[in-house]
Amino acid sequence: MENIQNRALKVFPAGTSNGEYGLTEERIVVIEKGVGCHLWDTRGKEFLDFSMAWGSCLVGHAQPEVVEAVASQAPNGSNFAYLNSHVLALAEEIQRISPAAERIRFCASGTEATMYCLRLARALTNRPKILKFEGAYHGANETGVTSLFPQQAPDYPRPELTSAGTPAVSDYLLVAPYNNLAEARRIIFENKTELAGVIVEPLQRCTPPKPGFLEGIRETCTEAGVLLIFDEVVTGFRLAYGGAQEYYGVIPDLIAYGKALGGGYPIGAFGGRVDIMEWTNEHRIGTDDYVWMASTLGGNPISTTAANAALTVFRQPGTYENLHRLGAYLRDGMSKVLALRQINGQIIGDGPLAQVIFSADPVFDYRSTKKGDSVKARALMLALFDRGIFLNPMSTKLYISIAHDEAVCDGMLDRFDDALEEIA
C-alpha cells in the first residue's frame, strides 16, 4: 500500500483535510477510531486526545448516549432541511437556558453562526462597521480571520489582514485590545455612528476576561446603541451549562453557538432578542427589513439528536464541577512541571482549557500572549505529539472533555515533562 503521507500530500494542501494542523509531513497520521478521550491511527498507534476535535467533542468520542441517539435516527432520514422533533426540542432547551436567545435559528458551523450575528447587527442598526478584539477567532469568515495573528502591531483600531483574499474587510472592521475597557470604549464612542456591533469571545482563545471587562463592554454597547455579540462557539456548554452568559453573568444582544453543542456532529446556532431575530422572518422578503438566512444542513435531525443527547449528558450532576476541577488539575500539574524545571513560562486558561505560554509576563490580550516564545511552544507541541498526545500544534490550546480523568491528565503530565526535557 502506498504510504499514507504521500497519499494525503497528493490530495490535500499540507496533507490536511480540513486545515490548520501545520504538522510536519512525516507526522501525518490517519485517524481510524476515537473512543472517550483516546484516538487510534491506521497503524494502531494510540493517542491521548487533548484536542477533542478542536473542542467539538466535549462529550467524548463515540459517547454511548450520542451514538444511540444517532443510530436510532439514521434509518429514519438524515435531513429534511425543515423542522423536525429533535431540532424543536433542542431549540426549546437553548431558549430555556440562554437568556440572549429569545429566538433561534440553526446552521451547520460556528463560522456561519457568527456571520449571521454580524449581518443582523448591521441590518438592525443600518450601520456598516464591526469591532472585534485583536487575536480573537470568530470562524473562517472575513471578520473572524482578520487581526487573528497580526505581526505588525498596527495602531488600534486598524485591522491587519491574516488571510489573503480579504482586503475589503479593512473598510468595515475595527480592532481593539482584549481586556482594555478604556481603549474599547474610546473606539466604540468615536465610531458609534458607523458601528453596528461588537463581537467578543467572552474568554478569548485561552485568556480569561479581567473582572469588569465584559460588564464594561456590555454597558458601553448599551450606552452607544451598538449591539453586543457573544461568540460562544467555544465557551457555550463548556464553561458552564449556560456558557459564558451564566459563568460571567453578562447577557449579549446576539449569541453564536457551535462545537460542543453538537456532541461531535456538525452544528451552528445563533439567537437573539425577538425584535432582532424577526429580521430573518421570511414573510418580510421583499422589504428593507429582511435578513437572508438559510442553511441546507441547519437543524438536521442527526446533528440535533446528537446535540440533545450531549446536553442530557452535560446536565448530569457534577459535570461542570468535574470539568473545572480537572482543568485546574491539569493546569496546576503543568505549572509545577515548569517550575521544577525552572522554565520561564505559565499555563493560562479556565474550565477545561489550558495553554502553555513561554513567558512569565502577565498575559491578558493578544500582544501579551505573543511575547511568549512561539518557536519553543511549537517544538513542545510537536514533541508531545510524538509522545502520543493528539493536539493541534498550530493552535496551542488544549481541550479536555468529560471523558478525561486524572489518570489521563497524569499521562499527559509525564509526557509534558519528558517533552520539555527534549526541547530544553
For ligand PLP, give the closer residue by CB, 12 or 25.
Answer: 12
Minimal distance in Å, beta carbon 18 to ligand PLP?
9
Type of residue at 67: V
Residue from 137, 178, 248, 366 carrying the catalytic annotation? 137
**DSSP conformation letters of 241-309:** TTHHHHHH----SEEEE-GGGGTTS--EEEEE-HHHHGGG-GGGTTSTT------SSTT-HHHHHHHHH
Minimum distance of ligand PLP from residue 231's CB (angstroms): 5
Residue found by looking up cell 421583499 in the block = 286
Q: Should residue 109 be labelled a site residue for ligand PLP when binding is judged by CB under 6 A?
A: yes
259 is catalytic: yes
Residue 36 pairs in a beta bridge with 61
Per CB under 6 A, does 137 bind ligand PLP? yes
- Among 150, 208, 209, 258, which residue sits at the site for ligand PLP (rule: CB under 6 A)? 258
Catalytic residue among 49, 231, 350, 365: 231
Residue 231 annotated to the active site = yes
Q: Which amino acid is at 77?
A: G
What whole-number distance in Å separates Cα of residue 152 and Cα of residue 142?
19
139 binds ligand PLP (CB under 6 A): yes
Nearer to ligand PLP, 40 or 54 (CB): 54
Q: Does 349 contact ligand PLP by CB under 6 A?
A: no
Cα 210 from Cα 226, distance rounded (Å):
22
CA–CA distances in Å: residue 291 to residues 6, 128, 139, 140, 416: 45, 14, 20, 20, 49
Q: Which of residues 112-131 bind ligand PLP (CB under 6 A)?
A: 114
By beta-carbon proximity to ligand PLP, the closer residue of 142 and 231 is 231
Q: How many residues does the chain have?
A: 424
Q: Which is nearer to ligand PLP, 47 or 137 (CB)?
A: 137
Please say which residue, 338 or 354, places its beta carbon nearer to ligand PLP: 354
Residue 279 CB coordination number (10 Å)? 18
Binding residues (CB under 6 A) for ligand PLP: these are: 54, 109-111, 114, 137-139, 201, 231, 233-234, 258
Name the residues annotated as catalytic: 137, 231, 259
